[in-house]
């Protein structure tokens, strides 16, 4: 009897090429899978119900910006191991979130006591490898040179992202130092000093990378002072190009007005003005 032929199925290897992630030069977002990033805000209105107080963050310093802003900005405009430069470091929000997201950070803070306080939020190893806090005046050439020296130690010629969260003119006094932007005698002087900080930021930032300005307006002498838009102009004066203007809610994120909401509402009705419930997050590119 003739032998039956046995048919053997040999699976061919899958020769399909696995595509590499498609990213820009300024973030790690895989554009081939862009639908996976629905958590990243791309609209011009950002609303947050409350301040994030997890992962090392706390509301221990009046005037610090909420961590969710850092999370959004850092994922959108930085890559892992990039160096973020914050020229108004304050209580260290940028540094804490940089570590959480595997980035590094250089922060400039005017007050030595604040530098000492914030340094305790980081380990000794982190303060050597990933976080550097410089006590200095962000308008000065001396501080700019200190930042440049630190960038070299961190293996970078320039920073990959800049955060600017200045005082909102003289609304809150942060110190008695004459270099403090919150101690300016006039709003025009505030703008001029801010422009010096913006110029240092521009010089210290890598070409093609982004900067963010977080700022609100103020109401003084029975009129609105548009701090945000004038500071935007000063950013453009030193060479930045404006990329976006985001309006972010501040409801629930202020300590002062929460307990006197009815008083502010009365004042608004009596004085013909509106209570500020927003601030701006403006992004720029070099």
d(CA 86, CA 114) in angstroms, rounded, equals 14
- Alpha carbon 253 to its chain centroid, in Å, reads 17
Q: Along the 286 residues of the chain, how does pLDDT read in single tens digits?
A: 555 555 556 566 555 666 788 999 999 999 999 999 999 999 999 999 888 777 667 766 666 789 999 999 999 999 999 999 999 999 899 999 999 999 999 999 999 999 999 999 999 999 999 999 999 999 999 999 999 999 999 999 999 999 999 988 777 777 888 887 888 899 999 999 999 999 999 999 999 999 999 999 988 888 889 999 999 999 999 999 999 999 999 865 555 455 566 887 888 899 888 888 899 999 999 9
CB 259 within 8 A of CB 218: no
Secondary structure of residue 85 in the 3-state scheme: strand
d(CA 97, CA 70) in angstroms, rounded, equals 7
When divided into structural domains, the chain yields a total of 1
Q: Provide the b/e sequence for 193-227 (b: ≥16 CB within 10 Å).
A: bbbbbbbbbbebbbeebbbbbbbbbbbeeeeebeb
Tell me the Cα Rg of the chain: 24
Instruction: Tell me, yes or no, whether 9 lies in a domain.
Output: no
Instruction: Tell me, yes or no, whether 54 lies in a domain.
Output: yes
pLDDT in tens, 6-49: 555 656 655 566 678 899 999 999 999 999 999 999 999 999 98
DSSP 224-245: EE-HHHHHHHHHHHTT-EEEEE
Instruction: Tell me, yes or no, whether 248 lies in a domain.
Output: yes
Instruction: Tell me, yes or no, whether 6 lies in a domain.
Output: no
Name beta bridge partners: 283.
212, 244
Instruction: Tell me, yes or no, whether 13 lies in a domain.
Output: no
d(CA 282, CA 188) in angstroms, rounded, equals 20
Instruction: Tell me, yes or no, whether 249 lies in a domain.
Output: yes
d(CA 48, CA 45) in angstroms, rounded, equals 10
Name beta bridge partners: 180.
none
Domain, as residue range, for 239: 31-285
129's CB contacts (< 8 A; 6+ apart) are 104
Here the CATH number for the domain that contains residue 159 is 3.40.50.150
- How is the chain split among helix, strand and coil, in percent rounded to 5? 35, 20, 45
Q: What is the pLDDT of residue 171?
A: 75
Q: What is the pLDDT of residue 14?
A: 59
Secondary structure of residue 42 in the 3-state scheme: coil
Instruction: Tell me, yes or no, whether 221 lies in a domain.
Output: yes
Instruction: Tell me, yes or no, whether 4 lies in a domain.
Output: no
CB 100 within 8 A of CB 79: no
Residue 105, number of CB atoms within 10 A of its CB: 30
């Amino acid at each position: 009897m003739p032998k039956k032929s046995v048919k053997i199925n040999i699976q061919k290897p899958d020769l399909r090429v696995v595509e590499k992630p498609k990213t820009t030069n300024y973030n790690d977002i895989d554009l081939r899978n862009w639908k996976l990033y629905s958590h990243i805000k791309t609209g011009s209105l950002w609303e947050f119900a409350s301040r994030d107080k997890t992962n090392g963050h706390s509301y221990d310093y009046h005037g610090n910006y909420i961590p969710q802003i850092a999370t959004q900005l850092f994922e959108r405009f930085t890559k892992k191991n990039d160096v973020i430069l914050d020229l108004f470091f304050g209580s260290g929000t940028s540094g804490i979130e940089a570590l959480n997201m595997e980035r590094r950070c250089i922060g400039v803070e005017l007050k030595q006591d604040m530098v000492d306080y914030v340094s305790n939020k980081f380990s000794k190893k982190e303060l050597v490898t990933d976080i550097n806090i410089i006590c200095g005046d962000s308008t000065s050439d001396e501080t700019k040179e200190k930042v440049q020296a630190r960038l070299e130690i961190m293996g970078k010629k320039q920073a990959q992202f800049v955060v600017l969260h200045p005082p909102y003119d003289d609304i809150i006094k942060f110190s008695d130092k004459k270099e403090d932007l919150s101690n300016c005698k006039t709003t025009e002087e505030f703008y001029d000093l801010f422009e010096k900080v913006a110029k240092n930021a521009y010089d210290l930032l890598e070409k093609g990378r982004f900067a963010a300005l977080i700022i609100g307006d103020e109401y003084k002498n029975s009129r609105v002072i548009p701090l945000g838009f004038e500071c935007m102009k000063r950013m453009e004066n030193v060479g930045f190009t404006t990329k976006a203007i985001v309006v972010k809610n501040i409801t629930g994120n202020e300590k002062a007005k929460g307990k006197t909401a009815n008083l502010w509402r009365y004042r608004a009705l009596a004085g013909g003005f509106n209570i500020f419930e927003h601030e701006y997050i403006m992004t720029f590119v070099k």
